Amino acid sequence: MKSIQYAACALLTMAVLPQAQTPIKVLFWGGTATGTHNSRALRDTLASVFTANNLEMHYREANSHSWLTADSLAAFDVALLYTTNQTGTDLSMTQLNAFVAWIASGRVAVAFHGSTNTYLNNGAVTTAWRQLLGAQFVDHDAPNHAGTPTYTQPNNPFLLGTTPLPAGATSDPGVNSATYWDEGRRHNQYVNDTVVIARSQLATTNVPWIWVRPQGLGWVYYNASGHRGSAWTRPEFKGQLVRALQWGASIKTTGIRGKAAVDALIRAEGNQLMVPGIGPHSVRIHNMTGRNVFSGNAGGANQYDLSGLPLGVYTIEVLTRADAFHGIFVRKP
């Protein structure tokens, strides 16, 4: 009989981090478009939002992708993708594999809007990119407006504390208009481990709008919102982005947010999860949809039997009187 092994990485939540916490280092992987899907304009719009939320932006554009090496990526806590290079063939499999490995080691990629229709003419890279992001953009659905998004899994950690965008204008008011409008986006070729956490009612169809999927010990988050600036200035859009980046950074980063904080706390052998030496505490485990699948409360040195959980990826919370530790673990054969 195969033993069950666990791989865990977790850390203090943003809510309990001390004020002196070092900034979260965000790799913002942008593109070269200067009309819609303008990464440089989004960078400038978000500058003050990043500063206000202890996020340190490191903006990089497509072309050489020189930052896609293990050594370079190690400097970042979380990645933000917007629209990189729609038809480009300049991303190599070696570079993409380095990025995938970085995520699989316990990081998170937070992807928005046109990131699902980039590198479309790049052979094996196109296929691997679709696999990483979880689906492939297919069309806009006439008459091309985003409709009304709703949270289908509001307890998912990527969504907690945020608000869905309202229904935007039903016709495109133009690039320079202040009226909020966003385009409809439909996808296909969904990866089988993709979990939809929000949907949107477009003109004729109800479609996945925000989803997550595991990549090794890390996660990929995708959000279809954000065609142009009228969406970026919405507080709902900014709130979703900040929440996703902050939770994503909490998976595996440096300092007090580091993996070492949890490695010293959580041990797993066979079917048993052990949380030794921290006094009274509780453990909560949720599946990828945010549904609670395990709860335990105890004091002193404790162990919990997880043999009833199916194999898969879960979020875990260990709550003490003073602190809350959040992260993910993978139960695998």
Task: Give tens-digit pLDDT for 244-298.
Answer: 998 888 754 433 333 434 554 566 666 777 776 667 788 888 876 677 888 887 6
pLDDT over 90, % of the chain: 32
Give the whole-angstrom CA distance, residue 39 versus residue 44: 9
From residue 291, give the alpha-carbon distance in Å to each of 115, 152, 189, 219. 28, 11, 25, 17
pTM: 0.78
Residue ranges making up the domain that contains 219: 23-249
Domain end, chosen from 228, 249, 270, is at 249
Average pLDDT, the chain: 80
Strand, coil or helix: what is 229? helix
Q: Are residues 242 and 288 in the same domain?
A: no
Tell me: the pLDDT tens digits for 1-21? Answer: 233 333 333 332 333 333 346
Residue 239 maps to which CATH number? 3.40.50.880
Predicted local distance difference test score (pLDDT) of residue 254: 34
Tally the C-alpha atoms within 13 A of residue 297's C-alpha that lie toward its C-beta.
1
- The answer as to whether 315 is a domain residue is yes
* Co-location of 105 and 199 in the same domain: yes
Beta bridge partners of 282: 297, 319
What are the DSSP E strand ranges found in the chain?
5-12, 24-30, 55-61, 78-81, 108-112, 136-139, 148-151, 186-188, 195-201, 206-215, 218-223, 267-269, 272-275, 281-286, 292-298, 302-305, 312-320, 324-332
Do 232 and 272 lie in one domain? The reply is no
Structure tokens at 322: 């003073």
- Looking at residue 251, its pLDDT comes to 59
Name the domain count of the chain: 2
